[in-house]
Chains A and B, each alone.
Chain A
């Protein structure tokens, strides 16, 4: 397996448009995901980014980690800024004053996507603009200091819904954002994780190839916020997939298909145990999470016709 991986990495371009030297924490899964996304996209691309970790770590004046055109304006509006660029491009191409047909990709964290920017994202999907939206989901507001979002999983301790004597942390279940994207009837929706780089990059290529909006939901491990050692990022991404906590699938024109089917799901405890944010969980709560994960996984399998 190791030998195969060593060979396979040579199939990927060494050219990076999201360049090293940025200020991400060590072991940052999100920065790794962005690197992979950009490798898959190439240079003919315009990137719109929401306020968040990736924006702050990559563009501190007077430096930039970006070798492609990149724009950040606010927190909640990356999808809308992208629609403005796309509309401008259409008009300028029609009028013959602009020739670039660059792909347009908007990126935001889970806070920008699940919470503050949902309306903007929904509007952009509904209007059918030709762009890819990438959600970089690390399951809380990590940039401001690990506050809960509606992407935070049940039972996780965050700074705004901490575990305590009478609290077990997050008391709600993670919002199903890919399903919300699918409900807009857009041509392509997929989930991915940096721990499966080829799957991730293939999905990026597929997503930008479709005409109209597409949504890629990337599970990004955050050692700082999840309280894990920084060398566990890849491992934990794999555990999320192997336990069924974060299944990899795509929805191509409404048709669900599983991208990776583990022979047998591992118990969620394997995934929860290494993480400080779940340290306080009782066996009863772990059991509750296991039941939920199994049920949701079975539902997804049903949608995939399994």
Chain B
């Protein structure tokens, strides 16, 4: 029997890890990730989760410990945020290079300096090229659902790649919402125990993490890239299976009121729900506006994205990270994705919501109107930060 509970998003993720019956969680406390790992530690302490919690001495060691654990064949979970993700950066690359299906919850957080514990996507963009699958969630239910999906995707024999579940720090991680929890049997059916084909086992010794000369490095990395690109098919299949079994549908690119819309706003993460309200208001006022939410950041869902936006006249993109001296990282990705299309929307990019700065419903409506004005004035390619105090 499905249960309906009020859960903080962090607890929803911990609950998904519990129902996934993880074997090892290694973590170092960092705001705003703490509630996830505290909850897991408590579940272990109470005997409700049969796992080893490794309280390591640094974020670098948190990921390193997960590398060992996953290489030994254990279902391995980790959570981090901001500076923590930066400190473990080189180990993040190793996880994907060694095809270790670790699942990591990232409570998206701004980067120092100035020190900020609040949310934005600076840390997300800094790990964009690490070869992980990156999935964004927008509410507590999705946090639960997509953490379960993340294990399934990561461990698929055709994928074997680590996966990040991105929840916005504080704006989502610390928010209490109603969550539907499935039965354990249903979860077991959806996500059976997994067996990695190559683990550290004296009966079948393997050498992992070799050194490659220029003669083989390229080929190794192309193999990894192909695996990440091909994971999209599995992601679609897992989302479909999840929808069939639990009745909630997910897609790499999701749309809201985009039918007949000339103008589209594009967001990622928890701001999407506020943006929906902004779209509702504008629709009521007769404006042909819709919303596109990018759920999958890596592998980038080019085909699904092009389909979602190709009929619009203008696409307004919100980046929650600065790429100093360049366009917003999401905006530049999107422009590249559209460049070769004959029919494509114009793109206007905004950067906003940095370091926990909120964008309200009115704020999104302002942003859309400003975007329309800029497009009319032909001010394309400008990098504008939204809502900056003089």
Contacts and interface: CB of A to CB of B under 8 A. Distances in A.
Interface of A: 43-46, 48, 55-56, 59-62, 64, 66-74, 76-77, 80-92, 94-95, 97-98, 100, 102, 119-120, 122-123, 126-127
Given A120-B61, A123-B61, A127-B55, A60 B200 contact: no
A120 to B, nearest CB: 5
Contact of A88 (B69, B90, B212): B69
Interface in B77-105: 90-91, 94, 98
Closest 10 CB pairs of A and B: A84-B68, A123-B57, A88-B74, A77-B64, A88-B72, A84-B65, A81-B68, A64-B207, A72-B209, A84-B69
B216 interface: yes
B76 A88 contact: yes
9 contacts: A66-B205, A71-B71, A77-B60, A80-B56, A80-B61, A81-B68, A83-B54, A83-B56, A122-B57
Nearest to B208: A71
B177 interface: no
Nearest to B97: A73
Given A70-B205, A73-B64, 17 more contacts: A43-B202, A48-B68, A60-B211, A70-B206, A76-B60, A77-B64, A80-B56, A80-B68, A81-B64, A83-B54, A83-B68, A84-B68, A95-B50, A102-B201, A119-B58, A120-B61, A122-B57
A87 B52 CA distance: 6
B32 to A, nearest CB: 23
Interface string B283-318: 000000000000000000000000000000000000
B67 A81 contact: yes
A86 B69 CA distance: 7
B19 to A, nearest CB: 15
B203 interface: yes
B220 interface: yes
A84 B51 CA distance: 12
A70 B74 contact: no
B211 A59 contact: yes
Given A59-B211, A91-B24, A120 B50 contact: no
A84 B26 contact: yes
Nearest to A48: B68
A85 B90 contact: no
Contact of A85 (B50, B60, B68, B213): B68
B210 A80 contact: no
A127 B54 contact: yes
Contacts of B94: 73-74
B179 interface: no
A127 B208 CA distance: 25
Contact of A83 (B65, B201, B212, B213): B65
B202 A84 contact: no
B54 A72 contact: no
B211 A123 contact: no
B226 to A, nearest CB: 17
B73 interface: yes
A279 B208 CA distance: 41
Q: Which of B56, B69, B203 has the most CB of A within 10 A?
A: B69
A230 B94 CA distance: 36
B254 interface: no
B23 interface: yes
Contacts of A61: 210-213, 216, 220
Contacts of A102: 200-202
B233 interface: no
Interface in B177-233: 193, 200-213, 216, 220
Nearest to B195: A97
Contact of B211 (A43, A55, A66, A70): A55
A92 B73 contact: yes
A159 to B, nearest CB: 22
